[in-house]
Amino acid sequence: MREQIIYHLFGPNDLLIDTIQKIAFDNKIKKAVVLSFIGSAKKVSLSNLKDSKDKPEKSQISLEGTFEIISMTGHIIPVTGNKIRVHMHITLAKEDGSVFGGHLDEAILYTGGYLFLKVLEEF
């Protein structure tokens, strides 16, 4: 397989995880890593680990507002049944400069965004 880097320009109101899944499906991507993503979001859903004695639990966080996406890292990996998992972590900034982030469940983009994705393996 030749080395491939996919660039995708996201538009306003695009769903971030859903669109990456579509990109992976359309390009027959089995494994990939995010090289870079920046943009903005107006709604984000995160699930971060919380302290638990027995087993790991997640705390759901949903926020609406105007957020700069200052970084996103993650990968696409294969799972059973010739399917894939899009697993992303994101860092966002509020207007006042305070920063938050975590495991990204989904985001609705505000002005859009720019993705550079390195394909490691295809189906």
What are the tens digits of pLDDT across the range 12-49? 999 999 999 999 999 999 999 999 999 999 999 999 88
Q: Would residue 82 be called left, alpha or beta, if left means φ above 0 and alpha means ψ between -120 and 50 degrees?
A: left
In the chain, what are the domain boundaries?
Answer: 4-50+70-122
Contacting residues for 90 by C-beta, under 8 A, at least 6 apart: 44, 46, 69, 71, 72, 101, 102, 104, 107
4-50+70-122: CATH class: alpha beta
Helices (H), 2-102: 16-26
Pairing of strands 4-10, 29-50: unpaired
Per-residue pLDDT band at 59 (split at 50, 70, 90): confident
Using one digit for the tens of pLDDT, what is the confidence trace for 66-78?
999 999 999 999 9
What's the CA gap between 52 and 69, in Å, rounded? 29
